[in-house]
Chain A
Amino acid sequence: MSDFFFGLPTFVQALAKGLAVVLVVFPVAAACSMAERKVCAWIQSRPGPNRALPPFLAWVPGIGIPQRLGLFQLAADGAKFLFKEEPLPDHVHKFYYTLAPVVAMVPAFTTVTVVPFGAYIASGGAVVPLILANVDVGILAVFAVASLGIYSLILAGWASNSKYPFLGGVRASAQLISYELSMTLSVLPVFLWVNAPGSAGTLSLARVVEFQSGSLHSGWGGAWFLLTMPVSAFIFAVALFAETNRQPFDMPESESDLVGGFHTEYGAFKWSLFFVAEYANMIVGSAVFVLLFLGGWNILPWVPLASMLRGLNHATGWALWLHPLVAGLVSMAIFAGKVLSLIFVFMWVRWTVPRFRYDQVMRLGWQKLLPLSIANLIAYTVGIYFLQG
């Protein structure tokens, strides 16, 4: 099986891997929309969507559990978006109007390629990350491609040829550019620390996790960057909320003052593409946060994946723990658990905090977050200089 796979031409392999990741991320992103509705409902002391059930499945015992969780509602909504009429308003710029949702999806799924999502232990004892493209540009590629995502909002807002979408597009561009600066600056200390003088320089996210995979006697190495750089993590998290257009920063949408913002004129499947792209961005953003600040696939600070698996091997006497497949699945489960918890936090914050006013968003971005991130960068640069000599 694996021989057959590795015997295939490289581009077929890459295509298969890419397809596998998209086939996971797309449904998870869609499921997040249902999770959002349920979390919202629970926070508001409601049960949330819990009725939809195809009649031909009603006899299955225990079907009530997915029904109460709204899973069939999710399927029904998806089917509805696929089959309902695709309205194309008369006054839009048709080419760009159709292009915008595609432009939203492409960066959202492209960034997945450079994000590692697990690791396994090779026969030599080395921890090998699971990643589609383990390129050295890593975080730079994420930032570069993810920033293309705003073009979809601007394009949608402009192509709709209508004032509220236009205002939404303008807000989106201003907001995303403002917070991108703080986001990039907040990440720099991490890479300053990882790339000690003399070592080969890299911006790879897998290397950042490797750096956080030290055991107890390796001192700072095992600490997650959340512990050593809480301010960076905080700035990154706030900027992440702004970059993914989540409340309290959902200026481009702000349904109370802009109807629906940039997607006012959209309906049916095109609208749902924007929606899925937003959640895909959230997933990738949370994944990057987990990799940078929460130790990636390591279960606890100072407890790296390899020693956890070896410990389990000793404790249970079950050699299978070290098998690449099991190790890979365990690491992916830990990573997915962290990412999904972070997405829950996103939703939790959304249904807690009211939206900022637009001038507040700008003031927070330029006058508070940006100086803070610059000060943070300078402080850590000096600190790391003395630490690494």
Chain B
Amino acid sequence: MAVIEVKRRALSLVERTYLPNLLAGLKTTLKHLVGPSETMEYPEQRPAISPGYRGVPTLVKDPHGREKCVSCQLCEFVCPPKAIRITPGSVAAGAGVDNVEKAPQAFDIDMLRCIYCGLCEEVCPEEAIFLQNQYSMSGYTRAEMVNHKDRLYELGGTLPDRHFKWEVKKAAEEAAGGHH
């Protein structure tokens, strides 16, 4: 590459007094002074959350209102900071959840340990755990910062099932005349 010689122009007398640049600077700051504020005033104004945001992990129910988690404990095993603790339990007969055998008896996520990595969401075979939009977790005690099962479902709500794992399977079974 050729060497480009940059001609350094000697500053004129006016430029050397430093005043034109000072005035230019004052003009710029005045523009900002009268211009609008760029700050988002947080508790009143909230930022728009883009899809794919990794907020607080939550448990979700399927469109029929059924518990999706089958307490396979994959998330517990994959969780790098060991924030998840699951106590597996069996499904009560006649609870309307006859497609699965197990459900969590207790499901705790310690938000003081959680690093919001999203591995639990990624590993879940039932698409039962999602990192959703909530970005602010606070509490006065350590105990308050542990999300129990009921709180996790409260935060998670019901998400439209993206893949309809069970529905699709059931429909395929019916179309095949009862064969798998």
- Please tell me the number of chain B residues within 8 Å of chain A, measured between CB atoms: 15
B41 touches A47 (CB 8 A): yes
B33 touches A353 (CB 8 A): no
CB neighbors of B among A330-385 (8 A) = 348-349, 351-353
Complex CA distance for A335 and B130, rounded to whole angstroms: 65
- Cross-chain contact of B25 among A44, A47, A352 (Cβ < 8 A): A352
Main secondary structure of the interface of A (DSSP, over half): loop
What residues of A have a CB within 8 angstroms of the CB of B25 in the complex?
352-353
- Cross-chain contact of B32 among A43, A47, A349, A353 (Cβ < 8 A): A43
What residues of A have a CB within 8 angstroms of the CB of B29 in the complex?
43, 348, 351-352
Judge whether A42 is part of the interface by a CB distance below 8 angstroms: yes
Complex CA distance for A46 and B22, rounded to whole angstroms: 22
- Please tell me the number of chain A residues within 8 Å of chain B, measured between CB atoms: 12
Complex CA distance for A43 and B25, rounded to whole angstroms: 11
18 extra interchain contacts, Cβ-Cβ under 8 A, other than A45-B37, A47-B37, A349-B22?
A39-B33, A42-B32, A42-B33, A42-B34, A42-B37, A43-B29, A43-B33, A45-B38, A45-B39, A46-B37, A47-B41, A348-B29, A348-B30, A348-B33, A352-B26, A352-B28, A353-B22, A353-B25
- Cross-chain contact of B38 among A39, A46, A351, A353 (Cβ < 8 A): A46
Q: B17 CB to closest chain A CB, in angstroms?
A: 9
Judge whether B47 is part of the interface by a CB distance below 8 angstroms: no
Judge whether B65 is part of the interface by a CB distance below 8 angstroms: no
- Cross-chain contact of B36 among A39, A45, A351, A352 (Cβ < 8 A): A45
Binding site for B on A (CB under 8 A): 39, 42-47, 348-349, 351-353
Complex CA distance for A31 and B68, rounded to whole angstroms: 60
What residues of B have a CB within 8 angstroms of the CB of A44 in the complex?
32
From B22, B33, B38, residue with most partner A Cβ within 10 Å: B33
B32 touches A45 (CB 8 A): yes
Q: Return the chain B residue nearest A344 by Cβ.
A: B33
Judge whether B35 is part of the interface by a CB distance below 8 angstroms: yes
What residues of B have a CB within 8 angstroms of the CB of A45 in the complex?
32, 35-39
What residues of A have a CB within 8 angstroms of the CB of B39 in the complex?
45-47
Q: B36 CB to closest chain A CB, in angstroms?
A: 7
What residues of A have a CB within 8 angstroms of the CB of B34 in the complex?
42
Q: B37 CB to closest chain A CB, in angstroms?
A: 5
What residues of A have a CB within 8 angstroms of the CB of B32 in the complex?
42-45
What residues of A have a CB within 8 angstroms of the CB of B26 in the complex?
348-349, 352
Contact bitstring B85-107, A, C-beta under 8 A = 1, else 0: 00000000000000000000000
What residues of B have a CB within 8 angstroms of the CB of A352 in the complex?
22, 25-26, 28-29
What residues of B have a CB within 8 angstroms of the CB of A43 in the complex?
29, 32-33
What residues of B have a CB within 8 angstroms of the CB of A351 in the complex?
29
Complex CA distance for A352 and B30, rounded to whole angstroms: 9
What residues of B have a CB within 8 angstroms of the CB of A39 in the complex?
33
Q: A275 CB to closest chain B CB, in angstroms?
A: 23
Contact bitstring B5-24, A, C-beta under 8 A = 1, else 0: 00000000000000000100
What residues of A have a CB within 8 angstroms of the CB of B22 in the complex?
349, 352-353
Complex CA distance for A211 and B33, rounded to whole angstroms: 37
What residues of A have a CB within 8 angstroms of the CB of B36 in the complex?
45
Q: B103 CB to closest chain A CB, in angstroms?
A: 46
Complex CA distance for A257 and B26, rounded to whole angstroms: 25
Contact bitstring B140-166, A, C-beta under 8 A = 1, else 0: 000000000000000000000000000
Complex CA distance for A348 and B22, rounded to whole angstroms: 11
Complex CA distance for A352 and B25, rounded to whole angstroms: 6
Complex CA distance for A44 and B32, rounded to whole angstroms: 7
Q: B14 CB to closest chain A CB, in angstroms?
A: 14
What residues of A have a CB within 8 angstroms of the CB of B41 in the complex?
47
Q: B172 CB to closest chain A CB, in angstroms?
A: 58
Complex CA distance for A278 and B32, rounded to whole angstroms: 26
Complex CA distance for A45 and B33, rounded to whole angstroms: 7
Q: B22 CB to closest chain A CB, in angstroms?
A: 6
Q: List 10 A-B contacts (CB under 8 A).
A: A42-B32, A43-B29, A45-B37, A45-B38, A46-B37, A348-B26, A348-B29, A352-B28, A353-B22, A353-B25
Complex CA distance for A353 and B26, rounded to whole angstroms: 8
Complex CA distance for A353 and B41, rounded to whole angstroms: 28
Complex CA distance for A42 and B32, rounded to whole angstroms: 7
Q: Return the chain A residue nearest B21 by Cβ.
A: A353
What residues of B have a CB within 8 angstroms of the CB of A353 in the complex?
22, 25
What residues of B have a CB within 8 angstroms of the CB of A348 in the complex?
26, 29-30, 33
What residues of A have a CB within 8 angstroms of the CB of B37 in the complex?
42, 45-47
Q: A371 CB to closest chain B CB, in angstroms?
A: 13
Complex CA distance for A348 and B16, rounded to whole angstroms: 22
Q: Return the chain A residue nearest B41 by Cβ.
A: A47
Q: A364 CB to closest chain B CB, in angstroms?
A: 9
Complex CA distance for A353 and B19, rounded to whole angstroms: 11
Complex CA distance for A45 and B41, rounded to whole angstroms: 13
Q: Return the chain A residue nearest B26 by Cβ.
A: A352
Complex CA distance for A39 and B26, rounded to whole angstroms: 13
